[in-house]
Structure 1
Amino acid sequence: MGNIYLIRHGQASFGADDYDVLSPLGVRQSHALGEHLAQLGLQFDRCIAGDLRRQQDTARLALERLAANGSAVAPVETDPAFNEFDADGVIRALVPDLLPHEPEALQVLRNPAQHRSEFQRLFALMVQRWHDGEHAPSDGLETWASFTGRVGGGLQRVLAQASSRDNIAIFTSGGTIAALLHLVTGVTPAQAFALNWQIINTSLSQLKFRGRDVALTSFNSQAHVQLLRMPELITYR
């Protein structure tokens, strides 16, 4: 059987002007991941990342550490099928319907780094309405069905090109991993996102495949940061 390792990107710059940049902590997480992969003796036949900067940089930094420890490293391929859904677009589309019930929402959303727990609560409400289709149509906003179709198409391309014993790394994002959990295990979107909120930065989830048959074998492994005994490296956003 072959293996697909789903790797969430390192911590991005939450609350900054450009979220899509690894924070200094995200760089440390990526280095720790690469060292851990080397200690496991993992070698990847293919490495794939979405085209978001945080995904690409996590792949580059982790694989540099893996190569520095003597492992053969495949070049990173880019497939935007594994990009995250448009969180800003979801917020823009759904916040008008939220405001009558949550009058403080705009203040929280404008200063998310100062209101982390409240931001997460509001964001989770909007994501639930998005994946349930409980919102007015919005020009340009990717629907949940379109998002899962995009992600599923990326997975099928990977499987179609894979050999039976390949080890494949996919550097991606939490929402994309949630979509894959939904597609592979059959859990509901709500259940998939309940799991998504638990995925830490640079965690590994593992799929095993035989042909087009895929099964989840591990979820949200965080051994590489736990073994370092540095709790500051365990982040969720």
Structure 2
Amino acid sequence: MGSIYLIRHGQASFGADDYDVLSPIGVRQAEVLGQHLLDLGVSFDRCVSGDLRRQQHTARAALEQYANTGLTPPTIEQDAAFNEFDADNVIRHLLPELLPQEPEALHILRNGAQNRAEFQRLFALLIQRWVNGDYASTDVPTWASFVSQVAGGLQRLLQLAQSKDNIAVFTSGGTITALLHLITGVTAEKAFELNWQIVNTSLSRLKFRGSDVALASFNSHTHLELLKAPELITFR
């Protein structure tokens, strides 16, 4: 059987003007991940990333650990199917309908870094509405269309894969959530309950034989836990 390692990007710049940049912690997480994979003797036949900068930077920082030991890792391919859904777009178009019940929501969402717990509560409410189709706007791509996008990326991986390939996919939490939904049949709502637990640079592993795919492990972050540095275990 072959394996697909789903790797969530390192910590991005939550609360900054540009979220799509790894923080110093995010870079360190990616470096630790790369060394951990080396220590386990994991090598990759292919490496694929979405085209978001935080995903690509995570891939480069992790694979540099291979290069530092004289190994030549695979070229990082790009496939936008493994991009994160546009959370800002979801918030922008669904928030107006939430404001009558949550009049402070706009302020909280604009200042999420200072209101992390409330930000997460409101974001989860908006995502629930998005997943359920409980909104009037026609200007936001649907959850179903996002799942279809991710499914297309998975299909392309499988079509090109050899039977015992190890494939790394550097991606995001929402993409991993869509894959959980597709592969295990868990409802979208339950999949997003798991989403909130996905640690930055965690490993989730899929096993495949031909077009058959199964979930083998989820959200492993032993590489961070072993360092006994709680600040490296982040969720956003």
Aligned to 2:192: 193
- Counterpart Cα distance in 1 of 2:33 and 2:141: 31
Query: After the TM superposition, which residues 225-236 of structure 1 pair with which residues of structure 2 at under 5 Å, given as runs?
Result: 225-236=224-235
1:100-134 Cα offsets, whole Å, 9 max, x none, are: 00011011011110000100000000001001100
> Which ranges in structure 1 are unaligned for 5 or more consecutive residues?
none
Q: In 1, are the aligned partners of 2:94 and 2:137 still within 8 Å (CA)?
A: no
Aligned to 2:158: 159
Aligned to 1:143: 142
Aligned to 1:86: 86
1:76 aligns with 2:42: no
Q: In 2, are the aligned partners of 1:37 and 1:66 still within 8 Å (CA)?
A: no
1:54-108 Cα offsets, whole Å, 9 max, x none, are: 0000000000012213444100000000000000000001100110000110110
- Counterpart Cα distance in 1 of 2:70 and 2:35: 11
- Counterpart Cα distance in 2 of 1:199 and 1:209: 22
> Which ranges in structure 2 are unaligned for 5 or more consecutive residues?
none
- Counterpart Cα distance in 1 of 2:60 and 2:112: 28
Question: Which amino acid in structure 1 is aligned with residue 8 of structure 2?
Answer: R
Question: Which amino acid in structure 2 is aligned with residue 44 of structure 1?
Answer: F
Aligned to 1:29: 29
Please identify runs of 4+ aligned residues in structure 1 that moved more than 4 A. none
Question: Which amino acid in structure 1 is aligned with residue 13 of structure 2?
Answer: S
Question: Which amino acid in structure 2 is aligned with residue 27 of structure 1?
Answer: V
Aligned to 2:202: 203
1:209 shift after superposition: 0.1
- Counterpart Cα distance in 2 of 1:69 and 1:42: 14
1:126 aligns with 2:130: no
Percentage identity across aligned positions?
69
Q: In 2, are the aligned partners of 1:7 and 1:202 still within 8 Å (CA)?
A: yes
- Counterpart Cα distance in 1 of 2:66 and 2:212: 29
Query: After the TM superposition, which residues 46-125 of structure 1 pair with which residues of structure 2 at under 5 Å, given as runs?
Result: 46-125=46-125
Question: Which amino acid in structure 1 is aligned with residue 222 of structure 2?
Answer: A
Task: Give the number of aligned pairs.
Answer: 236
Q: In 2, are the aligned partners of 1:41 and 1:71 still within 8 Å (CA)?
A: no
1:132-165 Cα offsets, whole Å, 9 max, x none, are: 10011332x2210100000000000000000000
Q: In 1, are the aligned partners of 2:183 and 2:214 still within 8 Å (CA)?
A: yes
- Counterpart Cα distance in 2 of 1:199 and 1:121: 16
1:14 aligns with 2:18: no
Aligned to 2:182: 183
Deviates more, 1:65-74 or 1:148-157: 65-74
SS of structure 2 residue aligned to 1:14: coil
- Counterpart Cα distance in 1 of 2:54 and 2:128: 24
- Counterpart Cα distance in 1 of 2:138 and 2:16: 25
- Counterpart Cα distance in 1 of 2:226 and 2:193: 26
- Counterpart Cα distance in 2 of 1:230 and 1:69: 25
